[in-house]
Amino acid sequence: MKFIIKILLCCALFYSCQEDIPLQPSKPEIKEIQPTQSGVWTVITIYGKNLGLPQDSSFVILDSNIKILSKECLKWNNTYIRLKLPKLRFNGNIKVVNNKDTSNTLKINFNYLPEIHMILVNAGIADIGSNNGWYDEKPAHRVNIPNNLYVSKYEVSQYLYSFVCDTNPSSEIAEKLPVNNIQWLDAIIFCNNLSKLFDYDTCYVFDKGNIIWDTNANGFRLPTEAEWEFFCKAGYEGDYNADESIENLAWFNKNSGYKIQPIGKKKPNRAGIYDLHGNVSEWCWDWYDENYYKQSETINPKGPKSGLKRVHRGGSFLDGFAKLRSSARHYDDGNYKNLGIRFVRNAKD
């Protein structure tokens, strides 16, 4: 009996000592990060276990020196964390700190620079203007575009404009909508900033209030009016750029609901370029002159030497189908709600 009591006392002592030993919390562990291919402002989700709850001592570390506090994340719980990547350069290494415990590190493929989609349009000869159009489209005449061009496949999105210029003047905010409310000078500054971002020469020089186009620069720029009509038609001779119903090609007042629509949802032209008709009208380099076509150069015309208003082309979500025609010319009338950007770049060997 005494032996049994001793055993029971020993067991009780053992278990009482065990209760005094604090349980070690499990360290956070990252199992997966989605998506694995990301860029600036991409929303990523970190899946794992023991990630804890939001608190001042919990945060995500990008590389070894960029902290995103738990309260700055979109969602944080014990099994997943959702956050929006900031506009910062980092190598893709991610780990989680929960209280004083640090997780393993996982790596994603991170691209700081925004993705730019360009279409190569080869040099050529085309008929510009229309003898059946408005007075400023006459006479129809043949021009030679002697240089190959890279043309942006889509109109400039609000995502891209915000990334490049750190602002978004658009009337309705959404990353996949084309930027609007753009003045001509805004478009010039955007092109220069985009060129700097990709380490290209800037095409525009500001000189005592004048803007000079450096035609030898390899950066991004606005198309000339002749270039715009050339790559819009892409060899097609009709009023629009394909043998399609205009409703399949363009957002305009009949089908847009008088609202800007996401880029790239209609059919492209023959060259694979989207939204040339409608959605937002697109700035060109040229000064506007209603009589310019009567005296236009035949080789690589760049518009009048001076003027009061700049040209934009393509029509918009507010316009009727007649203003969407490939040859229809428009100029700055002070209303920028329907104006956006498409850029080009010289394709040099």
What CATH number should be reported for the domain holding residue 94? 2.60.40.10
223 is a domain residue: yes
- Contact in structure between 74 and 82 (CB atoms under 8 Å): yes
Instruction: Specify whether 43 is located in the same domain as 180.
Output: no
12 belongs to a structural domain: no
Mean local confidence (pLDDT), 32-48: 96
**pLDDT at residue number 346:** 96
Among 300, 339, 341, 45, residue whose Cα is nearest residue 148: 300
Same-domain pairing of 105 and 125? no
* Shared domain check, 242 and 213: yes
Q: Are residues 271 and 200 in the same domain?
A: yes
At 240 the pLDDT is: 85
Domain span including residue 146: 118-346
Q: Which helix (H) or strand (E) holds 260?
A: none
Q: Give the total number of structural domains in the chain.
A: 2
* pLDDT value of position 23: 47
Task: Give dist(CA 146, CA 150) in Å, integer.
Answer: 13
Per DSSP, the three-state class of 116 is: coil
Cβ-Cβ contacts under 8 Å for 284 (sequence gap 6 or more) = 222, 223, 224, 225, 227, 228, 303, 310, 311, 312, 313
pLDDT top residue among 26 and 295: 295
101 shares its domain with 123: no
Residue 82 belongs to a domain: yes
Taken in order 265, 267, 273, 278, is the CA torsion positive or negative?
A: negative
pLDDT tens-digit series, residues 270-295: 999 999 999 999 999 999 999 999 99
**Same-domain pairing of 276 and 229:** yes
The residue out of 85, 111, 137 marking a domain boundary is 111
Q: Is 179 helix (H, G, I), strand (E, B) or coil?
A: coil
Residue 41 covered by a domain: yes
Query: What is the widest separation between alpha-carbon atoms in the chain?
Result: 122
* CA atoms within 13 A of residue 71's CA, in its CB half-sphere: 3
Q: What mean pLDDT, rounded, does the chain reach?
A: 92
Same-domain check for residues 95 and 144 = no
